[in-house]
Structure 1
C-alpha cells in the first residue's frame, strides 16, 4: 500500500513542479520557450509600468536650465529697474556676482534676473524713504511673482537664489518657506541659496563656508526691543529667527557673514537699543567691503566664492 501512495505523491509533486515551470516559461519571453506562450501578462505589466512612470513636464525651448535670482541690498536697486539689465546702482555689490555669470554662460544655461524693488530703509535721518518692512515686503512679493511665473512656464528650470543685506533677508525668508513646504515653488526646484550679510542669520542654520562667528543677525538680537528700535527706524520690525531653519533646503543654503558685521554678526546682548538701531542704518565699514574682504572666507572674497559656487551648479546641469 505504501508503494502506490509514494508513486502517487511523486506524480503530484512532478505535476506541481511541471505546472509551475510551464507557467514561468509561458510568462518569461526571454526564456528558452519565450514567445511560444501567451504574452498578455507581459503586455499588461509593461502597460502598468508605463502608466506608473512619472511624466517629465515639458517646457518651451527658450527656457533656461537655471535662473540665477539676485536680490541687491539697501539702496542698490529701484522698483523700475530692468531685471535683465539692472542700472539702478552701478556699484551694487551683487553686480560683482551677476556680471561674471553673464559673461561666462549662455542664456540657455542661465537666466540672470535681478530683483527690482525700492530697497530703502526709513529712519529718523531719512523720513522720506520707504520703511524697511514695506521695502522688504515689496521685494519679496516681486521675487515670489518671478518664481511663480517662470516655474509655471518652465517647470524643469532650477533656481539659484542669492541676496545681499536687505536682499539676503528677502531671499532667506523665501527659502525658509520653500524649505518648510509652504513656498511658492517646490523645494526640488531650488538648486541652491546664498544669503550674504543676512539680518536673520543664526549659527548652525544653513551652511557657513567661512570663518566661525559668535554673533547673530540683528533682527534676532534686537527682537526683544523691537518697539524701541522703531523709535529710531520706524517701520523696521525685528522679527527674530525664521521658523523652519530652511527645512528641505538646509543642505544647500549658505550663510555668509563677515566677522563683526553689525547686520549679521551682532552681539547677543541687547546693550544700548538706540545705538544698535543706528548701526542698522549706518551698518559699518565691514558691511561695505564684501567684494574685497578676504577675512570672510579664507583664500577668497565673498563675490568670488559665490561666482565659483554658482558656476559649479550650472556646469553640473
Structure 2
C-alpha cells in the first residue's frame, strides 16, 4: 500500500506540473511598460576588442515548453506569440539599438512527451537539443566577436537549460569563458536550489526544483513518462557565475517550489491543485517581485546590463 501511495503521489505531482505548463501555453502574455530592476554585476575581466560588425551584448533567451520550435527564426521568433520570453526580449529589442545588442531566441523543439502527447519529443531529448543549440550560438559568437558579453535568460524548461548552460560555463566546461557572461536570469528553474544563485523577490520558498524533488523516484517517473529523467541538483552549482545568476520562483509553483517529501503529495493534494495555475501567471503575478511582474523586472535588469559600456 505504501508503494502504491508513493507511485500515485509521483503521478499526481507530474500531472500537476504538466497541467501548469499546458495552462501557461494557452495564456495570452500581455505586458505593460516596465519599470527598471536592479542589475546584477556583470563581472569578468576587461573585454577584448571586437572587430567591426560585432555587438557589445548578445541576449540569449530560452523559451519554455511549447513556446518554441526547432525551425523557428531565432532573430524574429513566431512559434508562440504568447511566449513569456517575448514579453522581455520584444520590448528590449524595441528600446536598444540593434548595433549594440543582439537578441537570439533559442529555436528548439520545447516538448515534453507524455501519455497525452506520445508524438512529441521527450523531455530529455528536447532539453538536450536546447542546450546544444544555445551552446553552439555562444561559441560561434565568441569566436567571431571575443569582446561580446552574453546575457542568458530562460523560463521553465528554458530556465533548466539556461541554468545547465550557466553551470557549465561557471565551472569551466562551457562554450565561452565565465568572464563573457554579464548575467543570468532563471524564471521557474526545475533544478532550483536556494543555496545556488540569488533568489530575487519572494523569500517564502520552502521547496526545490521538480527535478530535485522527484530525483529519488526518477525510475518511477521514467516508467510513467519515458524520457523524463529527474537529474537532481546541479552538483557543482554555478561556479564562477554564482553571484551573476538571478532566480525567480513564485511560492507554490511546483516546477521550482516542489515539496521535498513526494510521499506527502497525496495529503497535500488540495493545496497542490490550487497552486497548479501559479506557474502560468508570471506575466501577470505582481507579488513575486514587489511592485512589478517578473518579466518586467528581468526586462529592467537586462536593460541596465546592456546599457553599460564594456570594460
TM more than 0.5: yes
Verify the 8 A CA contact 2:259 2:265 in the aligned structure 1.
Answer: no
- The change in CA–CA distance for 1:122 and 1:61 in structure 2 (over 3 A counts) is same
Verify the 8 A CA contact 1:201 1:264 in the aligned structure 2.
Answer: yes
- Give 2:296's aligned residue: 304
- Give 1:291's aligned residue: 283
1:236 aligned to 2:243? no
Partner-residue secondary structure (3-state), 1:316: coil
- Give 1:41's aligned residue: none
1:93 aligned to 2:84? yes
Partner-residue secondary structure (3-state), 1:284: helix
Judging by fraction of residues, say which structure has more helix: 1
1:120 aligned to 2:111? yes
Deviations 1:279-310 (A, max 9, x none): x9xx9211111011012111110000000000
> Which residues of structure 2 form unaligned runs of 5+?
1-44
1:108 to 76, 79, 99: 99
Tell me the distance in 1 between the aligned counterparts of 2:134 and 2:112: 19
TM-score, length basis structure 1: 0.78
- Give 1:205's aligned residue: 196
- The change in CA–CA distance for 1:55 and 1:185 in structure 2 (over 3 A counts) is closer
- Give 2:257's aligned residue: 265
Tell me the distance in 2 between the aligned counterparts of 1:100 and 1:161: 16
- The change in CA–CA distance for 1:76 and 1:274 in structure 2 (over 3 A counts) is farther
Tell me the distance in 1 between the aligned counterparts of 2:196 and 2:84: 24
Shift of 1:127: 0.9
Shift of 1:58: 3.9
Superposition RMSD in Å:
2.0
- The change in CA–CA distance for 1:142 and 1:275 in structure 2 (over 3 A counts) is farther
1:148 aligned to 2:146? no
Shift of 1:268: 0.7
Shift of 1:126: 1.1
Tell me the distance in 1 between the aligned counterparts of 2:175 and 2:47: 20
> Which residues of structure 1 form unaligned runs of 5+?
1-53
1:158 aligned to 2:149? yes
Deviations 1:10-35 (A, max 9, x none): xxxxxxxxxxxxxxxxxxxxxxxxxx
- The change in CA–CA distance for 1:55 and 1:139 in structure 2 (over 3 A counts) is closer
- The change in CA–CA distance for 1:190 and 1:123 in structure 2 (over 3 A counts) is same
- Name the count of aligned residue pairs: 259
1:178 aligned to 2:178? no
Tell me the distance in 2 between the aligned counterparts of 1:154 and 1:267: 44
Bigger Cα Rg: 1
Tell me the distance in 2 between the aligned counterparts of 1:230 and 1:66: 39
Partner-residue secondary structure (3-state), 2:154: strand
TM-score, length basis structure 2: 0.80
Partner-residue secondary structure (3-state), 2:72: coil
Q: Highest relative contact order (Cα 8 Å, sep 6+), 1 or 2?
A: 2
Deviations 1:66-95 (A, max 9, x none): 000000000000000000000000111100
